[in-house]
Amino acid sequence: MAKYKTVILALTMVLAGLLPAWGDQTGGDRIGWKDTIVVAADETRDSVACFGGDVIVDGKVRRSVFAMGGTITVSGEVGDAVVGLGSRIVLKSTAVIKGDLISMGGTIEKEPGFRIEGDTVYFKGPLFSDKAFKNGLWGLIFFPFWPIVLIIKMVNVFLWALAAFLAAMLIPKNLDRAAAQVRMSFWAVLGTGILAHIVFGFLVIFAALLCLILIGVPILFVLIMAGVAIKVFGRVALFYFFGQSLARSLKWNTPSALGASFLGLLVIELVGFIPIIGWLFKGILTALGWGAAIRTKFGTVDNWFKKRGALPPASPAAPAAPAAPSC
């Protein structure tokens, strides 16, 4: 069982871009499974991620600290965000967090004198408890006292939180561009998403029919992968959009990409728990996310469908110079 856990963790870290630094004791990223990770006072790391264990930061972490379960103790400096899922977060008097503090469940303990330059996002409830996360991902999935439906919902929330974390860390500018397109052209984005769903459905049916002669198998596989990529990026872009919109409406300081994404995730998932209304809301979000992903080419352009301006008319040709008289 331990071998399979290591494989799953390794795959996760490949997506996060952390695997190349596995085992590095002098710098770079550091990850752990049911282990205690210590960043000493004279040590500097790029990022720290821990599943089911403790994190102690006495030195400096350039980017983010992420933990699921366990305890995060910060007495040093974190350059971006501290994120805990079902974790106990302890901030010593000398702690400096230059980004956001995000806690989904668990507790936050603060000593006088700490400094947080970003926002504090704290969601406390039975859905994110230290008991559920004490065994890491396996504890979340196999927690025996939850109803089956609640387990499925929580696994879904965890996966979306992981996707939001990776996107906010790796492609924040793409999320910002896609969210801006939703803000400026809401109905056009929604219409694009609905039309894309219809076209995608016909393509899937056509590929499924081609599977009868085998040629459709790779086509269907590519379509499924493309659909998953569009849905994930579009949904995370909407997390970012709703988080930024909520922060602006409440006149909060502008959150980081990670803070906005997690705040939007909380808003969307809370609305999604409402019967009937939540289903309709998620359906609209799916179409809206598809439209945002397609219109911005995954956030690489402002508007893929924007017509380019016509070229200026060519200036009239200058009259030809008279030919020199021949001798």
pLDDT value at position 91? 92
pLDDT digits (tens, 9 = 90+) for 198-208: 998 888 888 88
Q: Using CA atoms, how far apart are residues 257 and 251, in angstroms rounded to an integer?
A: 17
182 token code pair: 């939703």
| Per-residue model confidence (pLDDT) at position 33 | 73
Number of alpha carbons in the 13 Å side-chain half-sphere of residue 253? 11
* Length of the chain counted residue by residue: 327
Please list the ranges in the chain whose pLDDT falls under 50.
1-26, 126-147, 309-321, 323-324, 326-327
- Give pLDDT, residue 275: 67
Question: Residue 304: its pLDDT value, please?
Answer: 80
What is the model's pLDDT at position 234? 87
Q: What is the pLDDT of residue 4?
A: 37
- Is the pTM higher than 0.75? The answer reads no
User: Each residue of 89-112: pLDDT tens digit?
Assistant: 999 999 999 988 888 777 889 999
